[in-house]
Structure 1
Amino acid sequence: MNRKKQLDGLNYKQFQKRNSDKFNSLSQNSKKLARQEGYKNIGWANIRQSWNILQRMTILLPVDFIEFAINKAEKCYEQAKQKGDLLEILESGKKVIQSIKIKYQ
């Protein structure tokens, strides 16, 4: 019986993709720091260590509340469009505009 090795319920490729997705969401400076810390997304030992590095870095990164507000407002707008509720579309669009105004003030 051929059993594939898994970690956290993920096989190698899934674990590697999770690391890549998390890594790609970092800023250039954070990526550079992760590499200096030993981030290397090849081989079981490396992807486990790299996941730990990414977890530590994520805890240390400040949250950008303005970007969060913009993303949240945009999601609400898209959901309102899918529902077809004109009033909700207008309210959500207003929230998107307000969030973007805050960013550029």
Structure 2
Amino acid sequence: MNIDGMSYREWQKRNSDTFQILTKAQQQSVRQQGYRNVSWQKVQQSWKILQQLKPPSLFDAKLKKGDLPGAIDQSILGAEQVQDLAKQAKSNLKRKRNQIQKRADEVLDKYQLL
């Protein structure tokens, strides 16, 4: 099962990576707010909690730590997600265009031009 183009394990990894770059005080705070990186519902809820802190991007954090391969992986993951969104948008536009074309053809068939 995928949500927002990511699997359960990818959500968990993103949460864990984001959690790790927080200060100890921030980690305690998010735990008190209900951060728990187990089960779909809690993993999604934990991501919302993490987003409220506005942490630096994982890409920036990995670069700061000197983890160039990790930063590249984050960049590639982001690019793949954008490509998936673009494909979905393109598919939706084609579907809507076909619906409009079908509706226009039906109207033209029903009402002849003068």
- Aligned ranges 1:40-51 → 2 under 5 Å: 40-51=36-47
Structure 2 partner of 1:15: 11
Amino acid at match of 1:28: K
- Aligned ranges 1:1-105 → 2 under 5 Å: 5-58=1-54, 71=64
Larger Rg: 2
Amino acid at match of 2:18: K
Alignment deviations for residues 70-95 of structure 1 (CA, whole Å, 9 cap, x no partner):
x5xxx9xxxxxxxxxxxxxxxxxxxx
Q: Distance in 2 between matches of 1:34 and 1:24?
A: 12
**Count of paired positions:** 59
Please report how far the alpha carbon of residue 8 of structure 1 lies from its aligned counterpart in structure 2 after TM superposition.
1.3
Q: Unpaired segments of 5 or more residues in structure 1?
A: 76-105
Alignment deviations for residues 23-50 of structure 1 (CA, whole Å, 9 cap, x no partner):
0000000000000000000000000000
TM normalised by structure 2 equals 0.48
TM normalised by structure 1 equals 0.52
Structure 2 partner of 1:91: none
Q: Unpaired segments of 5 or more residues in structure 2?
A: 69-114
4+ runs deviating over 4 angstroms: none
RMSD after superposition: 2.0
